[in-house]
């Protein structure tokens, strides 16, 4: 093997912070002209799938190779996720680095939420709810609190122990036993579950809420009831093809109202008409996760090693 | 990084021989039902491209990530090729191994030529010509001589020093200064150049020749003049989509005659009607290189480490 750095998840986590990654992702969405991103390729296995996610961003050609495998042979269902990222310099073709992709994915996904929240949430947002307290949630909280002055963090998880453990990591976090209660006073709601049902209802939400819908990233996954999408004044997607296939807006046809639709790139590159849209109706950011986010972030991490 | 073996090109080369790989590739083409192979994904860079080649074969999901970069900044043009292969077990999802892909590619490409030669060349073939004496040629010679009793090896390269260096590696190899002379008495011809012109003409070939066309593996590449394809009684391709886009048969529309067309899978899984085809006219095997070949071979190499 040629002499390239090979970075573990721990090493990746030490080389980049969520606020640093927010800057990278914001610049990335301002410069999409210089990127390439063919559709993800899927391979299907009996209990999951593998995905090849190639892209060019920041003069870097790279790929994330990742997979999900459900192990239901034991007493408890176990989901195995693995991801590796390889990046090459496009000026020389040279392989620069191989790194674990799990921590990288968590950080870049949170950073995208941070960018969306910076551009789409009300400036006076003070409360933020996080639905689902899994591996990605801590960094999602870091991202939202990095861009808005959040006074209170509301947490909900079907496994309330998990929510309480997450709450211990923050000074101003509260755990709710009721999903409706958790959502009621939240200015910003970030959904982080693997749900296949639209379990969040419009009647529980604040009128001018920003929802960052992060969980739905594959066909058949959804977290929002049709009533929620129906009530949005603005929907922003990370990438149209992917969201209309894998995100919350795969269910757009169930809605009577059709809100204004913009890409995150359009929003970040503004100024845009969306400033004129009636924001009292709420905004949805539909995130499915993009290969360009992985490659841009991986390049930054690699540069920190040199 | 989780604890997986990382294998260099040298290590890969020590863990598998060309004849072993011929067996793997033959079994692979007999069992294509159990494989998955979406089209390669290309990323374009100013002086080359990157390719993501995911596939499933032998209960293994994997990807070859490879690139070609032409460095024309110095006095001599330099082509940089790099390739890495990652494989996972589909029963557990677990990453098994990361390995350099250059030697693996050379061995599996040679093995495919070996399988094609075993099924398609005349049993009494005694002479084999190799056009182009680059990095892959030595193993291509090993593959052809593994499946037929070859008495004489004929070599040709624009750079005749390179051809002479190759000849030194074999007892029964002769170098030709004239391409026409090199081809004239060859029962089997294997073409291994990066040409973009059809430089091999029908008039130089034996009537019942088998041509293994290995060089053309991308749009715009070709080694055979239209007269050659026009004269074939049988054309066999490794994979239809890829060959009709990237192989010699991308130029099939230039031909007046349309020969019988079969996939290598059909040939290897025979018995087939092709036995009834008039074989005096010559046979073309069009190879573009498949991701399933990389993954099947990589799995075998990995098993040898455990």
CATH code of the domain covering residue B161: 3.40.50.720
- The band of A85, judged by pLDDT with boundaries at 50, 70 and 90, is very high
Same domain (yes/no): B141, B77? no
- B226 close to A (CB below 8 A): no
pLDDT at A255: 82
pLDDT above 70: percentage of residues in chain A: 97
Query: What value does the mean pLDDT take over residues B68-93?
Result: 85
* C-alpha distance from B52 to closest chain A C-alpha (Å): 7
- A78 close to B (CB below 8 A): no
Q: Is the pLDDT of residue A274 over 60?
A: no
Same domain (yes/no): A11, A121? no
Query: What value does the mean pLDDT take over residues B231-249?
Result: 93
Using CA atoms in the order A220, A211, A33, A136, what is the torsion angle rounded to 10 degrees?
-70
- B88 close to A (CB below 8 A): yes
Cα gap B266→B30, rounded to integer Å: 8
Same domain (yes/no): B56, B153? no
Element spanning B174, H or E: strand B173-175
Q: Is the pLDDT of residue A27 over 70?
A: yes
Q: How many residues does chain A have?
A: 306
Chain mean pLDDT for chain B: 93
Q: For residue A1, list chain B residues with Cβ-Cβ distance below 8 A.
A: 6-8, 98-100
- The band of B280, judged by pLDDT with boundaries at 50, 70 and 90, is confident
- B89 close to A (CB below 8 A): no
Do B82 and A61 make contact, defined as CB atoms within 8 angstroms? no
Buried b (16+ CB within 10 A) or exposed e, A157-183: beeeebbeebbeebeebbbbeebeebb
Same domain (yes/no): B251, B153? yes
- B54 close to A (CB below 8 A): yes
Give the β-pairing of B196-200 and B152-156.
unpaired
Q: How many residues does chain B have?
A: 306
Q: Is the pLDDT of residue B276 over 70?
A: no
- The band of B79, judged by pLDDT with boundaries at 50, 70 and 90, is confident
pLDDT at B54: 98
- B194 close to A (CB below 8 A): no
Q: Is the pLDDT of residue B2 over 90?
A: no
Q: How many domains does chain A have?
A: 2
Q: Is residue A201 situated within a structural domain?
A: yes
Do B82 and A94 make contact, defined as CB atoms within 8 angstroms? yes
pLDDT at B274: 57
- B5 close to A (CB below 8 A): no
pLDDT at A254: 86
pLDDT in tens, B92-133: 888 999 999 999 999 999 999 999 999 999 999 999 999 999
Paired tokens of A151:
């006074």
Chain mean pLDDT for chain A: 93
Window from A190-194, B13-17, B240-244, B277-281 with minimum mean pLDDT: B277-281
pLDDT above 70: percentage of residues in chain B: 97
Q: Which residues contact A169 (CB under 8 A, 6 or more apart)?
A: A138
Q: For residue B92, list chain A residues with Cβ-Cβ distance below 8 A.
A: 69, 71, 80
For residue B94, the domain's CATH number is: 3.30.1780.10
Q: Is residue B1 situated within a structural domain?
A: no
- The band of A74, judged by pLDDT with boundaries at 50, 70 and 90, is confident
- The band of A217, judged by pLDDT with boundaries at 50, 70 and 90, is confident
Q: For residue B45, list chain A residues with Cβ-Cβ distance below 8 A.
A: 56, 61, 90, 93
More confident residue, B235 or B78: B235
Q: Is the pLDDT of residue B266 over 80?
A: yes
Cα gap B106→B112, rounded to integer Å: 10
Q: How many A×B Cβ pairs under 8 Å?
A: 116
What is the model's pTM? 0.91
Same domain (yes/no): B129, B189? yes
Whether A174 contacts A204, CB under 8 Å:
no
Q: Is the pLDDT of residue A178 over 60?
A: yes
Same domain (yes/no): A71, A151? no
Q: Which of A93-97, A241-245, B66-70, B168-172 has the highest mean pLDDT?
A: B168-172
Q: Is residue A298 situated within a structural domain?
A: yes
Nearest-CA residue of chain B relative to A94?
A: B82
Query: What value does the mean pLDDT take over residues B4-25?
Result: 96
Cα gap A300→B38, rounded to integer Å: 30
Same domain (yes/no): B164, B76? no
Element spanning B170, H or E: none
Q: Is residue A60 situated within a structural domain?
A: yes
- The band of B253, judged by pLDDT with boundaries at 50, 70 and 90, is confident
pLDDT at A221: 92
Nearest-CA residue of chain B relative to A83?
A: B95
- The band of A278, judged by pLDDT with boundaries at 50, 70 and 90, is low
pLDDT at A96: 95
Q: For residue B42, list chain A residues with Cβ-Cβ distance below 8 A.
A: 38
pLDDT at A1: 54
Q: Is residue B91 situated within a structural domain?
A: yes
pLDDT at B77: 73
Using CA atoms in the order A240, A242, A247, A248, what is the torsion angle rounded to 10 degrees?
30
Active-site residue, selected from the candidate residues B40, B64, B118, B221: B64
Half-sphere exposure of B193 (CA within 13 A, CB side): 22
Cα gap A268→A145, rounded to integer Å: 19
DSSP B254: G
Cα gap B224→B284, rounded to integer Å: 10
Q: For residue A8, list chain B residues with Cβ-Cβ distance below 8 A.
A: 1
- Give the three-state DSSP class for B95: strand
- A52 close to B (CB below 8 A): yes
Please, is A287 exposed, middle or buried when counting C-beta atoms within 10 Å of its C-beta (0-12, 13-18, 19+)?
buried
- The band of A199, judged by pLDDT with boundaries at 50, 70 and 90, is very high
Same domain (yes/no): A95, A230? no
Same domain (yes/no): A137, A222? yes
Half-sphere exposure of A75 (CA within 13 A, CB side): 0
Query: What value does the mean pLDDT take over residues A123-129?
Result: 95
- The band of A271, judged by pLDDT with boundaries at 50, 70 and 90, is low
Same domain (yes/no): A141, A49? no
Give the β-pairing of A48-57 and A41-45.
antiparallel
Q: Is residue A65 situated within a structural domain?
A: yes
> Domain containing A170: what range?
112-290
Q: Is the pLDDT of residue B272 over 70?
A: no
Window from A59-63, A114-118, B81-85, B255-259 with minimum mean pLDDT: B255-259
Q: Is the pLDDT of residue B202 over 70?
A: yes
Same domain (yes/no): A151, A229? yes
Q: Which among A54, A84, A94 has CB closest to B86?
A: A84
Same domain (yes/no): B233, B172? yes
pLDDT at A260: 85
Window from A234-243, B210-219, B257-266 with minimum mean pLDDT: B257-266
Q: Is the pLDDT of residue A42 over 60?
A: yes
Q: Is residue A1 situated within a structural domain?
A: no
Window from B40-44, B60-64, B74-78, B299-303 with minimum mean pLDDT: B74-78
Question: How far lies B208's CA from each of B132, B140, B202, B281, B282, in Å?
Answer: 22, 20, 11, 5, 4
> What residues does A155 pair with on adjacent strands?
A130, A175
* C-alpha distance from B148 to closest chain A C-alpha (Å): 34
Cα gap B242→B248, rounded to integer Å: 10
Q: Is the pLDDT of residue B1 over 60?
A: no
Which positions 101-130 of B are in contact with A (Cβ < 8 Å)? none
Q: Is the pLDDT of residue A72 over 90?
A: no
pLDDT at B56: 98
Q: Is B64 a residue of the active site?
A: yes
């Amino acid at each position: 093997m040629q002499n390239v750095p090979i970075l573990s998840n721990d090493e990746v986590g030490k080389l980049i912070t969520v606020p640093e990654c927010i800057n990278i992702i914001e610049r990335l969405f301002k410069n999409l002209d210089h990127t390439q991103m063919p559709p993800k390729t899927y391979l299907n296995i009996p209990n999951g799938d593998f995905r090849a996610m190639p892209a060019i961003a920041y003069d870097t050609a790279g790929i994330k190779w990742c997979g999900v495998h459900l192990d239901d042979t034991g007493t408890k269902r176990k989901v195995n996720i693995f991801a590796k990222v390889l990046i090459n310099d496009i000026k020389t073709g040279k392989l620069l680095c191989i790194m674990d992709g799990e921590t990288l994915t968590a950080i870049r996904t949170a950073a995208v939420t941070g960018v969306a929240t910076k551009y789409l949430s009300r400036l006076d947002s003070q409360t933020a709810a996080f639905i689902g307290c899994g591996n990605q949630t801590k960094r999602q909280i870091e991202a939202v609190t990095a861009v808005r002055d959040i006074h209170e963090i509301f947490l909900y998880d079907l496994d309330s122990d998990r929510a309480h453990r997450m709450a211990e990591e923050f000074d101003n976090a509260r755990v709710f036993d009721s999903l409706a209660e958790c959502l009621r006073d939240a200015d910003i709601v970030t959904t982080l579950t693997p749900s296949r049902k639209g379990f969040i209802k419009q009647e529980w939400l604040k009128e001018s809420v920003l929802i960052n819908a992060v969980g739905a990233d594959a066909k058949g996954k959804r977290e929002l009831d049709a009533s929620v999408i129906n009530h949005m004044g603005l929907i922003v997607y990370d990438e149209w093809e992917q969201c209309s296939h894998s995100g919350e807006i795969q269910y757009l046809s169930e809605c009577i109202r059709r809100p204004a639709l913009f890409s995150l790139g359009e929003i970040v590159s503004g100024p845009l008409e969306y400033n004129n849209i009636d924001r009292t109706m709420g905004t949805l950011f539909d995130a499915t996760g993009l290969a360009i986010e992985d490659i841009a972030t991986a390049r930054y991490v690699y540069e920190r090693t040199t």
